[in-house]
Structure 1
Amino acid sequence: MTQIDHIIPQDVSELRLHELWSSYSLPIDFDIHDPHNLAPICIPCNGVESKGNATYEA
């Protein structure tokens, strides 16, 4: 089983997001929920205690 999670967390602060824009040359129209910011991750690695419980068959 696997989950889909944000690479840059969806709860990132505005200040930190601005730092990431500068550091990684993110596009000006970067969307935190864009598929380019999502990745599959194994459930134990994702820490299900603090995340949603949506799972997907790999």
Structure 2
Amino acid sequence: MGNTPQQVSVYRDKLIKNGVITPTEWGFVDFKIPYLRDYLREHSEHIAYHMHARE
């Protein structure tokens, strides 16, 4: 993804503070929003395509 651990940490903290994810153990998180995991898995190709299109 091209991000440093410090950059990822900032976004991770924001997602935790906003109730989107919760830390479960070292290096792992869980989604707090119902069905978000399923949605992201189903749409991962579409999301990745649009992320790369911005570069």
Provide TM-score, normalisation by structure 2: 0.37
Provide TM-score, normalisation by structure 1: 0.35
The answer to which structure has the higher helix fraction is 2
Which structure carries more relative contact order (alpha carbon 8 Å, separation 6+)?
1
